[in-house]
């Protein structure tokens, strides 16, 4: 997918106050959105496309939600024994 290739090949930079254009006339926002969409598992991607009115915004939103869930799962502290147990 294009989003996956973008995450491997683009160098981000440019002005903080205006949207810069990257290779192939892509904006940083488009690049970011496509990379997020590319991170979706195939089943989630297909579910979004099967909806009556699929949109890029819906795909990006779902990818963000899944990324948050994944971060929460990896940042959860492992179960450690209590200091009170003998």
Write the DSSP assignment of 17-68 as a string of letters.
Answer: SSPPB-GGG-BHHHHHHHHHHHTS-HHHHHHHHHSSS--HHHHHHHHHHHHH
31 and 6 in contact (C-beta within 8 Å)? yes
Rounded Cα–Cα distance for residues 82 and 86 (Å) = 9
Mean pLDDT computed over 65-81? 80
* Choice between 37 and 17, residue whose per-residue pLDDT is larger: 37
From the list 46, 40, 17, 21, the residue with the least C-alpha distance to 31 is 21
pTM value surpassing 0.75 = no
Is the per-residue pLDDT at 18 higher than 80? no
* pLDDT digits 0-9 by tens, 42-55: 999 999 999 999 99
């Amino acid at each position: 997918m294009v989003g996956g290739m973008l995450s491997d090949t683009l160098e981000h930079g440019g002005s903080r106050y205006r949207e810069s254009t990257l290779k192939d006339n892509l904006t940083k926002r488009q690049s970011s959105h496509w990379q997020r969409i590319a991170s979706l598992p195939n089943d989630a991607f297909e579910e979004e496309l099967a909806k009556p009115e699929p949109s890029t915004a819906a795909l990006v939103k779902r990818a963000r939600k899944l990324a948050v869930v994944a971060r929460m799962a990896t940042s959860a502290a492992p179960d450690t024994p209590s200091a009170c147990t003998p």
